Amino acid sequence: MGMLLYAETSEGHRLASSTTLEIPLRSGSLSKQEVKARQRGQEMAKWLVKQIELGGVVDEYLADQIIIFMALATSGILEITPPNERCEVLVGEVSLHTETAMRIAEKILNVVFSVKKQKTGHLIECIRR
Name the catalytic one among 36, 86, 97, 128: 97
Task: Flag residues of the chain having pLDDT under 50.
Answer: none
Residues 13 and 71 in one domain: no
Residues 34 and 70 in one domain: no
- Is position 97 annotated as part of the catalytic site? yes
Residues 50 and 65 in one domain: no
Residues 50 and 76 in one domain: no
Question: Tell me: the pLDDT tens digits for 50-76?
Answer: 888 888 888 888 899 999 999 998 988
Single-letter amino acid code for the residue at 26: R
* Model pLDDT, residue 64: 93
Between CA 91 and CA 95 the distance in angstroms is 10
List the one residue out of 114, 121, 117 whose CA is nearest residue 13.
121
Rg, C-alpha atoms of the chain: 19
Single-letter amino acid code for the residue at 35: V
* Model pLDDT, residue 100: 97
Between CA 74 and CA 124 the distance in angstroms is 13
β-bridge partners, 17: 5
Domain ranges, residue 6: 2-54
Question: Tell me: the pLDDT tens digits for 10-19?
Answer: 878 788 888 8
CA 75 and chain centroid, separation: 22
Domains contained in the chain, number: 2
Task: Give yes or no for a contact between 92 and 54, defined as CB atoms under 8 angstroms apart.
Answer: yes
Q: Is the pTM of this model over 0.85?
A: no
* Model pLDDT, residue 86: 86
